Amino acid sequence: MSSFTDVLQRPDFIRNFIIHVELSVLAVLIALIIAIPLAIAVNRSDFASTLAINIGNIGRAIPSLAILVLMLPFFGLGFDNALVALTLLAISPILINAVVGLRQVSRQILDAAKGMGLSGRQILTGIQIPIAAPIIFAGIRTSAVQVVASATLATFVGAGGLGDYIVEGFQRGDIYISLAGASAVAVLAIITEVGFGGLESAFTPKGLKIAQRRRKTK
């Protein structure tokens, strides 16, 4: 059990913890910058929306480790490889949920907004995105938790992170070293899940919250 506490007290633990957080945060932010505008761009076309969802589903089907290996010829070993691979992994859930969320807004609501003289941008920012916010944030939350967990694989391309301790524990036959790394990742994942759950609730319009409560009570 002393191995567990020894890992947490190592000088390199904070460094690897920060690397793990940096990889996760940057990957999700870049994925947001790519996926949200893309979802907005395709949401008016049935064909483009279906294509985007199918591509997203294909991306979700590719194992994380396979993406890391596929990036090796282009980015080699290190932080950049892990960041690109994790970004590609993060895009799919965000893109799929954003497209589905925007597309599910009732056509009657959109037609009524047009009848009131609202522009396409006003309809998008004032109606579609607020209504789709819970689904979009659910995709971001899924993506963020998935990235935090998958960032442990960055150790296989020499990028560091908390995965180093999981691998070291197996190499040395000391389960407590692996447990220290895995526990830190689990705590990060839980914090991410709870944090984005709070953001999802905060950005959900009050009208939608009331409607959701009514559906639950029926």
Q: Which two tokens stand for residue 14?
A: 């904070």
Provide CB contacts within 8 A for 133, sequence distance 6+: 101, 200, 203, 204, 205, 208
pLDDT at site 213: 59
Delimit the domains of the chain by residue range: 2-217
Q: Give yes or no for a contact between 75 and 84, defined as CB atoms under 8 angstroms apart.
A: yes
pLDDT at site 22: 95
Give the residue among 20, 128, 176 at the shortest CA–CA distance from 83: 20
Residue with tokens 């522009």: 119
pLDDT at site 123: 83
Q: Which helix (H) or strand (E) holds 203?
A: helix 175-203
Relative orientation angle of helices 79-103 and 11-42, to the nearest 10 degrees: 40
Q: What is the largest distance, in Å, between two alpha-carbon atoms of the chain?
A: 69
Superfamily per CATH, domain 2-217: MetI-like (1.10.3720.10)
Q: In this structure, what are the phi and psi dihedrals at residue 147, rounded to the nearest 5 degrees?
A: -70, -45
Q: Which two tokens stand for residue 186?
A: 């689990």
| Three-class secondary structure assignment of 27-59 | HHHHHHHHHHHHHHHHCCCHHHHHHHHHHHHHH
pLDDT at site 119: 80
Residue-level pLDDT, tens digit, the chain, 218 residues: 567 788 888 888 999 999 999 999 999 999 999 999 999 999 888 889 999 989 888 888 888 888 888 888 888 888 999 999 999 999 999 999 999 999 888 888 888 888 887 887 888 888 888 888 888 999 999 999 999 999 999 998 888 899 999 998 988 888 888 899 999 999 999 999 999 888 777 777 666 665 555 555 55
